[in-house]
A and B are shown apart, each in its own frame.
Chain A
Amino acid sequence: MIRDAAGRFRFGPALVLMLAAAGCAALASVTSGAYPLAVADMLNVLAGREAADPVASMVMMEVRLPRFLLGFLVGAVLAVAGAILQGLFRNPLADPGLIGVSAGASLAAIAVIVLGSTWLGDWIAFAGEWALPVAAFTGGSGTVLLAWRIANRAGQTSVATLLLAGIAINAVAGAATGLLTFYATDEELRSLTFWTMGSLGHATWDDLLVGAPFMVLALVAAPWLVRPLDAFLLGESVVGHLGYRTDTVKKVAIVVVGLGVGAAVAVSGLIGFVGLVVPHLVRQLLGASHRVVLPLSALLGGTLLVAADSIARVVVAPAELPIGLMMALIGGPFFLALLLRIKVT
């Protein structure tokens, strides 16, 4: 049976289903696109053989494959970051967007784009390709840390304060971004506008090389948080009683989220929705244990983003929709429908 006594899906069958979905998304991602490729050519390229269309190999190996891998990684990281924050703050509304991580990361990244000609220029030139991800990471983790510091009074983290702090940080980061936008040249401005809507359209192996280590590190460190996060569900004081160091757990969580989301924002721009909704989806289907929520959020987040990206690049072909828009357009109504069907627990 695929459902247990409580009507929830069992982990095993759910995992198999989701792996199948991920496989389908992967297939859709590498087979769909504005450029028509013959099935035989695709198979030949993937098998390392010569394709009839000389461009086929380039489209597959240099465009679709890195785009798929980057998309999956970004989706997985955003979903896991959302799951961690929701667990840490015992609040289903916490997501990288709401508590200001995305805004902080994007502020830093935009600063790199706009301030290239000022005092930051030397550092940017020195950091090269790493400038954007490093800045985004610093901005992302800096804002989580700030939000957490503000919400933390005498060792107790107030969730309400945290969300309010997040709103304020979002406002300030948004205003600072606006200020940079104001001073940006016409050209920078038009690049920024598209960057904030998110895109995987220029994903290269280099992007993957720069961003993936941070994101993989975040994903690899996440399992360490499984048990402490389960303890957090029972209340913050329980965490200590069960022998976990509350402070360390929080710090690790913050570093993981800042690292992952910062790198994701740096390579793909702003992509909302995944972090908030995917963990919910998993919890609705499989229960709240983080042993289940974290890995399956990663799987589902990656799958959803890759699927949305596949649609985004064919639906208005030969043009492409920004993936951030796509995610909200498809995901929003889908999530609402789900809310109406399933009683929220």
Chain B
Amino acid sequence: MMRWLMAVAGIAAVVMAPLVGAEDTPRLVTADGAITEIVFQLGAGDQVVGVDTTSGYPDATESLPKVGYLRALPFEGVLALKPDMLITSDQAAPAENLNRLSRAGVRVEQLASARTPEAAMRRIERIGELLGAVEQAQTLTGELRANMEQTRKAAANRGFRPRVLFILAAGNHSVMLAGQGTSAEALLNSVGADNAVADIKGYKPANREAILASQPDAIVIAESTPGQFNIENWPGIERLDAWQAGNRLIADSMLLLGFGPRLPQAMSQLSRVLPVDSHVAANDS
């Protein structure tokens, strides 16, 4: 009896083995929030076996193993997930670990960070190629381009370039103004707006006087966690004409700054809060 059972079990194991092992879908690790979003959007979410800590969207990423921060990717941690490919951006570090991963047989694809809508679309198409989902990628970028067209028209009809104050808030003790050369500025430019604090370089701690002096036409607050920014602690912002006039947007920082598949959504949300004519001009004259 026992021997018979074992024989059956043995045969079953032999028969089942190829079925169990027959996973030809590649295993992916994605590091960089926007790239993870794109991979999920292109329908390859079930191939993702691990993400980095900047990947919090869509919700399905929550149940996946987190390999740590994009700029401190661990070699063994990523390798342990046995990925066939690591898709990440040029922000990924340290370089030694990326080199080692590719030498250990993991295909490491580092994509350029997108800073313009066109670059964002190209990145989606590139990921489509990597995933063997070229058509899905083209369909997606086609839709996204059509969506952005609306925003572009709105920008063209505006007739002036609004100056926008862009604030990055990771809690009330880390409130930064987005200056020159940031992806926040790139987003503003993509909807035909300018940075109201262009004399600041990069992200710098917010200065209450600079906020008052900037006299923006609109205000954008990007929160790393929803509900994080408490306007009561920033009466200066509340006092700005743009805030009073309702030309303000508070949204998730990954949505606004990721330059991923939600970019058109970010652009249209931003575009909608931009005034049709300049407050400052109206007040001054």
Question: Taking beta carbons and an 8 Å cutoff, which residues of A are in contact with B?
Answer: 33-36, 54-55, 58-59, 62-63, 182, 185-187, 190-191, 194, 199, 201-202, 204, 313, 316-320, 322
Contact = CB atoms under 8 A, between A and B. Distances in A.
Given A34-B76, A59-B79, A201-B94, 6 more contacts: A63-B100, A313-B77, A317-B76, A318-B78, A319-B66, A319-B77
B91 interface: yes
Contact of B203 (A36, A59, A186, A202): A186
B187 to A, nearest CB: 15
B268 to A, nearest CB: 26
Nearest to A195: B72
A216 B74 CA distance: 27
B260 interface: no
B79 A190 contact: no
Nearest to B69: A194
A284 B71 CA distance: 41
B261 interface: no
B72 A199 contact: yes
B72 A35 contact: no
A191 B92 CA distance: 10
A322 B94 CA distance: 14
Interface of B: 50, 53, 65-69, 71-72, 74-81, 91, 93-94, 96-97, 100, 103-105, 182, 202-204
12 contacts: A54-B105, A58-B100, A59-B79, A194-B72, A201-B74, A201-B75, A201-B94, A313-B74, A313-B76, A318-B50, A318-B81, A319-B68
Contacts of B104: 55, 58-59
A202 B96 CA distance: 6
A191 B94 CA distance: 9
A234 B53 CA distance: 54
A63 B75 contact: yes
Given A54-B105, A63-B100, A34 B72 contact: no
Contacts of B66: 318-319
Contact of B79 (A54, A55, A182): A55
A36 B74 contact: no
Contacts of B53: 319
A4 to B, nearest CB: 44
Given A187-B91, A202-B94, A319-B68, A58 B103 contact: yes
A242 to B, nearest CB: 49
B114 to A, nearest CB: 15
A318 B204 CA distance: 33
A320 B93 contact: no
Nearest to A199: B72
A190 B77 CA distance: 20
B79 A185 contact: no
A202 B202 contact: no
Contact of A185 (B65, B67, B202): B202
Contacts of A54: 105
Contacts of B68: 316, 318-320
Nearest to A207: B96
Chain A CB count within 10 A is highest, among B76, B78, B97, for: B76
B105 A55 contact: yes
B67 A318 contact: yes
A190 B203 CA distance: 12
A34 B93 contact: no
B257 to A, nearest CB: 11
Nearest to A64: B76
B76 A59 contact: yes
A342 B72 CA distance: 40
B72 A317 contact: no
Contacts of A201: 72, 74-75, 94, 97
Given A318-B65, A319-B68, A191 B93 contact: yes
B79 A317 contact: no
Contacts of B72: 194, 199, 201, 320, 322
B105 A320 contact: no
B80 A318 contact: yes
B124 to A, nearest CB: 23
Chain A CB count within 10 A is highest, among B78, B94, B203, for: B94
A59 B81 CA distance: 14
A345 B75 CA distance: 45
Chain A CB count within 10 A is highest, among B75, B80, B103, B202, for: B75
A20 B58 CA distance: 49
Contacts of B94: 201-202
A63 B80 CA distance: 13
A18 B213 CA distance: 64
Nearest to A204: B96
Nearest to B49: A318
A116 B38 CA distance: 34
Nearest to B203: A186
Nearest to B52: A319
Contacts of B202: 185-186
Contact of A63 (B50, B67, B76): B76
A157 B216 CA distance: 59
A149 to B, nearest CB: 35
A178 B199 CA distance: 21
A182 B202 CA distance: 10
Contacts of A182: 204
B76 A191 contact: no
B261 to A, nearest CB: 23
